[in-house]
Structure 1
Amino acid sequence: MVSERILVVEDERIVARDIEKRLKKLGYIVPITVASGEEAIKVVAEMPLDLVLMDIQLKGEMDGIEAAEHIRTEFDIPVIYLTAYADTATLQRAKVTEPFGYIVKPFDERDLHTAIEVALRRRLAEKAVRVALEKEKELSELKSRFWSMVAHEFRGPMTSILSAAQLLEDHGLSLPEERRREYLYLIQKSVRSMDQLLNDVLAVGRAEGGSLKFDPILLDISQFCRDILDEMQFNAGHNHQIIFNQQGECSDTCLDPNLIRHILTNLVTNAIKYSPRGGNVYLTLCCTDGEVSLQVRDAGIGIPADAQKHLFVPFQRAENVGEIPGTGLGLTMVKKCIDLHGGQILIESQVGIGTTATVTFFSNSEANNRCRSV
């Protein structure tokens, strides 16, 4: 059903009523008719409209062309001119306002309908083009930020690796054993950092390209969590202790192990990384009827309130991270993995207090039907 809203601007009352009657017969909505350019601008500012039919010759200080120019620049609503006669100078002024059409009085219903439909379709097409151009611009900016981030994040660990390797080559035999171990540890840490960056980039790329698949299995999520945490504790060193707690029976849960690994490793890695002074990181697994939740809690630097609005936007990092390395891709990947499960994530954080991330998965008949045993 046609429901476009059209404003009629015509200072001849009989003509205005005739146009209104014809428009309503064609199925359009005419919320009001006005007789001056000033009134037209006021109405456009106050109510949603799809099109304006504007008489060029209006009584008063502002003619239809001036009103149309204001409506175009301020409100981006298409205008079709109504005119019985106009000299060359007036028509030239009208062209500058980029109207969506002209209707010459007197006109029949078919001409009116055709002009309006062409204008409305043109508006939709132009809007689609603007949206596409805006998305292309955003994509270009995202790519630029991506390559800048990649260059920056790789340059740091590569510099560390090169410096440590050169020192070992030049002074290896004369260096104390403790110092040699320190340089080797720096190389290993830098390689792990680069490997994590590559994994994040490739994983997000797969997700954006639609190749990240949801393949749930009957998973012993409790043992799965313990195995991952054992690996992470080894790499975390002695400054951080990862403490695992479980509530409820969680032996057979329908989840995708690859996606869960992404979720857990990113959340726990963040908890460790953003607790630079060390301390405990807690992972709590809770299983109840129809729900499985994973909660990661730390007492680290926390996330500022402004940054919490953009947690899952690629390459976004809070201003308080300082020199702590990171890509801004981890939580983006976490959110995509959770979405594929049909789950949800809640992050609560206070600066200087710490962060708690809670991921909840719900019993899903579709997922259960796809679930396979291993």
Structure 2
Amino acid sequence: MPHRILIVEDERIPAADLELRLTALGYEVVGSVATGADALRLAGERAPDLVLMDIRLRGDLDGIAAADRLRAEHFVPVVFLTAHSDDETLSRARVVEPYGYLLKPFQERELRTVIEMALYKHAAERRLRASERRYATTLASIGDGVIATDRTGAVTFLNPVAERLTGWPLAEAAGRALRDVFVICNEGTRLPVENPVDRVLREGRVVGLANHTVLTARTGGECPIDDCAAPILDDRGAVDGAVLVFRDITARRRQEDEKARLDEKLREGTKLEAIGRLAGGVAHDFNNLLTVINGYADLLLAGLTERGPLWEPLAAIQDAGERAARLTQQLLAFSRRSMVEPKVLDLNAVVTHIGKLLRRLIGEDIALALALDPHLAPVTADLGQIEQVIINLAVNARDAMPGGGRLTLETRNVEVRAADTAAQPDLRPGRYVRFTVADTGAGVPEDVRPHIFEPFFTTKGVGKGTGLGLAVVHGVVKQAGGHIALECPPGAGTAFVMLFPAGTSRDAPAPAPAPVPTGGSETILLVEDEDPVRNIARLALDVQGYTVLSAGGAAEALKVAAAHPGRIDLLVTDVVMPNAGGRELGDALRAVRPDVKILFMSGYTDEAVVPDGAFGSGEAFIQKPFSPIGLARKVRAVLDAHA
């Protein structure tokens, strides 16, 4: 397809001659006009590839002015035709950057050469401009700031991100030293940092920015950044400038901080879980010992009709044993291995009921305030454990306010959304009952907060605390499927915020008084691998009139049962035993004696002992350490159930 050329010549004969010569050379002439105004009009209508323009034209626009407008409005290349080669004319023509000159008169060969060179130069410029547009669009769309400089370090370019981060628009920054536009310092020392571009221009290699660098914008705002500067090389490989690429890492820094915080919470949870397993194991073994100690103390005290010389030492043994049992219960609560009896509770009723005890516990110089939501949803938890949580937190609050203050217990319904759980990976979205215990004490020091839920960690003096109070609270809340957090605003005391899953129904009957134990004549198969525990349990059941068959393990128990010709009414078995546990024993015994009832006993329970915390029909559980009376009462209740 031939190139299209517009002729602008105010002399008719030269114009006609030029048209004939162009046609003979294979070009298409789209028009021939005599004025600059007509040239602009026809260029807009017919879009020529090239304009051959006489410099001197009649009218308001001479050739130089018309060429300037053609370049600006239509980006059409212009070759000047002139018989004048004086310096003044050529100087004016150079301002509009023509694509060539033809001095009249000229030959066809000269005409063709100038036209082809002009067309080639224009095509190259079009490709260059397209490349520049792609380059500019790319730099404008990326999320990093980009600044380019010349070989002296003066700014030649800023993309929009760089303009925003530095506060300098390109029009004002161009030509300025980079150090005036890109102002950086060390985040920790606040001392100025060497500009990486200075090193690039000096060393001719890629240079990265040191960590912990802050960019100060023209407006005074600051943001942490990282960046990299690289040299711009000329055709000979010499450094002709530099390009600096940098980014605002505020969001990344926030994500890193959040990840570090979550990692720390994970490590803390793993540590607590490991300590919990250890505590549960210790409590399990200790409970076996306490079952024997407390059991014999109870039996001996029950046999004394008068307060003789043995009464006081036996009572001291019994008291110490009971306190030790409470300590093991705290260990089990912390480790979430205690046996619970979850019920649907009205937390407001629990708080109101225990409020009378709290007023005596905290003393007269501490005011107790209750802020209870009258429309509070119910929760499912163990009543005794919830009361223990309230007491433990109240005692801590009392100790934090030796000069008096206010203890506030608040309940309300809350909705936890997915966005609220981002910082708490163990919390799920849903409806919760929020229970807050807050005091107006001095608060918890910053260095203490990471350790508050650790067992045996205490800031109290020797002999004034076991360090289990908050560990127990943590374990109870977690075992109830809840979440607990510490809030300690500066100068505003301490608040423990607990979230319990909200229920939909209410069923919180008042606990029935413990029945007076009565004996019986039924036959009981007692299985326990610890001889002292088995002996005290057998003694406790013997005195109640039961026929007791005993065994030290599952295999022995099955042999005893097979050899017994009569009925076996109840299996009382330890849960964890060598070779086969109590649950396996119960399944095997029921295969041959389907009507036998089962009472499990253990120092602790977890998912491996009692799956889902549930028992089947005719099954029950008693927690060690138990008293002889407690065992007798539980045995009678299991035998009488569904009789």
Larger Rg: 2
> TM-score normalized by structure 2?
0.26
Say which structure is richer in helix. 1
Q: Structure 1-normalised TM-score?
A: 0.43
